[in-house]
Amino acid sequence: MKNSEIASIFDRMADILEFKGELIFKINAYRKASRVLLEGAEDIEILAAQNRLGELPGIGKAIQEKILEYLREKRIAKYEELLATVPRELFELLSIPNYGPKTAALAYRELGIETLQDLKAAIDKGSLRDLPGMGDRKVEKIRQGIELRESASERISIGIALPIVEEVISYLRATGGDRILQIAPAGSVRRFRETVHDIDVLVETAVSAEIIRLFTEMPQVTRILAAGETKGSVLLDDRFQVDLRAVSPGSFGAALQYFTGSKEHNVRLRELARKKGLKINEYGVFAGEDKVAGEDEEALYAYLGMAWIAPELREDRGEIEAAVAQHLPNLVHLNELLGDLHIHSNQSDGHLTLEDMAAAVRARGYRYMAFCDHSQSAFYANGLSSDRLQHSKETIARLNEKWDDFVVLAGAEVEILADGRLDYSDEILKELDFVVASIHSGFKSDPTGRTIAAMQNPYIDLIGHPTGRLISRRKGLEIDLDKVIESAVLTGTALEVNSSWDRLDLQELHIKNAIEAGAKICINTDAHDSSQLDQMQFGVATARRGWATAKDVINTLSLERLKKWQKRNR
DNA sequence: GCCGTTTTCGGCCCGACTGTTTTCAGTCG
């Protein structure tokens, strides 16, 4: 799909226009167009061929022409023209905190700063300091910005961010005592985005300055980025940026709504409020001078005539319209999952015995689980030969005699081999209770065709981590998910939402597409140790971000109904 | 540059913090 290519050009055009001091609304138009292209499920080439570009919100005449130009000529003349008039490393420069478009333009005009190297040299020489409106402190901020960009530029995975936010909250609760009336995560952490840029916490207190001070004095703080009356921003361990906002009693709901975002969701919400003659800010909903809502989120949304929207949905992807129409999906909840269908033991590369791991899963309150250890070709993971698989099955059969409230399914995570075959014969597969098929090698050799071939095997119930991406390390397969989803629907094979916070694969937008197409998903931990069973919350949150309800998720089924589902699709 | 049960022209979300300022611009979220 060309969507992301064009989206990134529009984003860069917005950056350039901002650098050149264009009207902010024009800039925002390009940014919005970029987002619509990136998040729209539909292939821009297909839309263009059907003459339907104008149906996309925020895509007007001028932008349509640029899209068509790109599809025709693989370039956009206007973009290239603009590019020639700005610093060579403009986009890198603009990514430096505290070095925005205005400053970059001034430094380019007066000092000819085109690159990061130029900028560093101008700081060292003192020439940046001599520019109008500059002072020692501003230059120091920019210097720190460069440092920050070079050390802490990576986005933080939700699995790292959540424990940090919990630590900050418990620290503030402990030190702030009853001065803290309410405290909660906000921002992208509360929305459970797969990665976050910084970590937001919101506190309700009558003594905000005191709480901000406690916050900036936390032992893990290595740098204070800002500290005012109601807002503090720090760097923890030189890596994680945490922002604390403090609000006075009565405004917590409005502030929580506001600081949870997303920005796009909030913009839409405020537009909607304006049309009703209301104003929303972080202190409440106002009709003229009168505050009409603000203490809690539910009341705020209700006052705007809409249902409360789960934070995971707040991305302006249709949730506002759905909330107004009272048609929000009833999102799947962690406690609706009755089983975890992708678990490893020390028979392959897990850490616990079958018995200990099964006991740990049962202790989480599940009704069933499936051991899906690796298959024979997965040497790196101590994959099971057919003899060892048979041995595992016998152990599992004995385990099942122990419990009458919990069933252990004997399964496998069978390799989809590089040549497209599966790593166990059909004779072996058909004797298993649940089979996941996954790609762990041969990433380049036709992953789409191999995945589809695996789905056509009647004994494959689930495709494990379909794209193979690792959030912090690997981009993932070049796989045509539209085709995979289509085949999943045809063959009745489920697609995994792998809860491991480094995978979260399928991703939220793929989940939404899959569900809309009628495919089923299965949320699993892929746990190799008992502690990893906790990661289910990330998979559930990701599924919720993909608008999944319980009926879309096969492991919300009772075991009996799960077996019926399998039988129908085998 | 986009968009319209207030509008085809005139709007376009809102506020905190910082630093360099005699009243505000730039940056950020």
- A50 HSE (CA, 13 A, CB side): 11
Determine phi and psi for A399, rounding to 5 degrees: -60, -40
pLDDT at A67 over 90: yes
| Residue A146 located in a structural domain | yes
pLDDT at A79 over 60: yes
Helix axes A508-517, A481-491, angle to 10 degrees: 40
Same structural domain for residues A341 and A376? Answer: yes
Domain final position from A193, A228, A247: A247
Number of domains in chain A: 4
Tokens of A558: 């009772």
- Please report which residue ranges of A276-423 form alpha helices under DSSP H: 297-303, 319-324, 354-363, 386-400
| Residue A9 located in a structural domain | yes
pLDDT at res. A403: 95
Inter-residue contact A197 to A181 (CB < 8 Å):
no
Distance from CA(A26) to C1'(B10), angstroms, rounded? 14
Cα–Cα distance, A497 to A541 (Å, whole number): 10
Inter-residue contact A204 to A181 (CB < 8 Å):
yes
Percent of chain A with pLDDT over 90: 71
A302: left (phi over 0), alpha (psi -120 to 50) or beta: alpha
State the pLDDT confidence band at A275, using cuts at 50, 70 and 90. Answer: confident
Same structural domain for residues A431 and A465? Answer: yes
Amino acid at A386: S
Inter-residue contact A170 to A201 (CB < 8 Å):
no
Residue A500: give its domain's CATH number: 3.20.20.140
Same structural domain for residues A286 and A404? Answer: no
Point out the nucleotide closest to A246 (alpha carbon to C1′). Answer: B16
pLDDT at res. A240: 87
Task: Tell me if residue A381 falls in helix, strand or coil.
Answer: helix
- Please tell me which residue lies nearest to nucleotide B20, judged from CA to C1': A133
Cα–Cα distance, A12 to A302 (Å, whole number): 38
Report chain B positions within 7 A of protein CB atoms.
1-3, 6, 11-21, 25-29
- Please tell me which residue lies nearest to nucleotide B12, judged from CA to C1': A25
Distance from CA(A257) to C1'(B29), angstroms, rounded? 13
Domain final position from A110, A129, A152: A152
| Residue A16 located in a structural domain | yes
Q: What is the pLDDT of residues A9-61, one digit of tens each?
A: 999 999 999 999 888 889 989 998 998 888 776 889 999 999 888 888 889 99
Residue A34: give its domain's CATH number: 1.10.150.110
Point out the nucleotide closest to A134 (alpha carbon to C1′). Answer: B20
Point out the nucleotide closest to A281 (alpha carbon to C1′). Answer: B14
Cα–Cα distance, A556 to A551 (Å, whole number): 7
DSSP state string for A7-20: HHHHHHHHHHHHHT
Same structural domain for residues A147 and A161? Answer: no
How does the average pLDDT of chain A come out, rounded?
92
Per-residue buried b or exposed e for A385-418, using 16+ beta carbons within 10 Å of the residue's own CB: eeeebeebbebbeebeeeeeebbbbbbbbbbbbb
Distance from CA(A382) to C1'(B3), angstroms, rounded? 60
pLDDT at res. A41: 64
Same structural domain for residues A520 and A506? Answer: yes
Its sign, for the CA torsion A132, A133, A138, A143, is negative
Residue labelled with tokens 């109904």 = A561
Instruction: Name which of A534, A532, A540, A487 is nearest A511 in CA terms.
Output: A540
Model pTM score = 0.85
Residues forming a β-bridge with A470: A474
Torsion of CA A36, A41, A45, A49, to 10 degrees: -100
Sheet holding A284-287, edge to edge: A279-281, A284-287, A290-293
Distance from CA(A116) to C1'(B27), angstroms, rounded? 19
Find the helix or strand (DSSP H, E) in which A259 lies. Answer: helix A252-260
| Residue A480 located in a structural domain | yes
Same structural domain for residues A409 and A441? Answer: yes
Inter-residue contact A492 to A460 (CB < 8 Å):
no
| Residue A30 located in a structural domain | yes
pLDDT at A417 over 60: yes
Distance from CA(A274) to C1'(B7), angstroms, rounded? 15
Distance from CA(A325) to C1'(B2), angstroms, rounded? 25
Residue A186: give its domain's CATH number: 3.30.460.10
pLDDT at res. A86: 92
Inter-residue contact A343 to A434 (CB < 8 Å):
no
Cα–Cα distance, A392 to A390 (Å, whole number): 5
Domain final position from A152, A175, A195: A152
Distance from CA(A363) to C1'(B25), angstroms, rounded? 58
Q: What is the pLDDT of residues A185-229, one digit of tens each?
A: 999 999 999 999 889 999 999 999 999 999 999 999 988 888 888
- Please tell me which residue lies nearest to nucleotide B1, judged from CA to C1': A26
Same structural domain for residues A310 and A166? Answer: no
Same structural domain for residues A237 and A302? Answer: no
Distance from CA(A16) to C1'(B26), angstroms, rounded? 17
Same structural domain for residues A259 and A182? Answer: no
Residue labelled with tokens 């932008």 = A63
pLDDT at A153 over 70: no
> Whole domain around residue A274: which residue ranges?
252-324
Distance from CA(A283) to C1'(B4), angstroms, rounded? 30
pLDDT at res. A151: 67
Instruction: Name which of A438, A365, A409 is nearest A562 in CA terms.
Output: A409
Same structural domain for residues A186 and A142? Answer: no
Q: What is the pLDDT of residues A483-501, one digit of tens each?
A: 999 999 999 999 999 999 9
Tokens of A417: 């081999």
pLDDT at A442 over 90: no
State the pLDDT confidence band at A420, using cuts at 50, 70 and 90. Answer: confident
| Residue A471 located in a structural domain | yes
Rounded to 5°, angle at Cα A553 from A195 and A485 = 75
State the pLDDT confidence band at A380, using cuts at 50, 70 and 90. Answer: confident
Point out the nucleotide closest to A99 (alpha carbon to C1′). Answer: B27
Residue A304: give its domain's CATH number: 3.30.210.10
- Please tell me which residue lies nearest to nucleotide B11, judged from CA to C1': A25
Least confident of A110-114, A225-229, A237-241: A237-241
| Residue A329 located in a structural domain | no
| Residue A256 located in a structural domain | yes
Same structural domain for residues A427 and A528? Answer: yes
Rounded to 5°, angle at Cα A351 from A350 and A356 = 105
Burial class (CB in 10 A: 0-12, 13-18, 19+), A221: middle
Inter-residue contact A409 to A392 (CB < 8 Å):
no
Point out the nucleotide closest to A36 (alpha carbon to C1′). Answer: B2
* Cβ-proximal residues to A368 (8 Å cutoff; 6+ apart), any chain: A338, A339, A406, A407, A408, A409, A559, A562
- Please tell me which residue lies nearest to nucleotide B21, judged from CA to C1': A133
- Please tell me which residue lies nearest to nucleotide B24, judged from CA to C1': A133
Same structural domain for residues A121 and A238? Answer: no
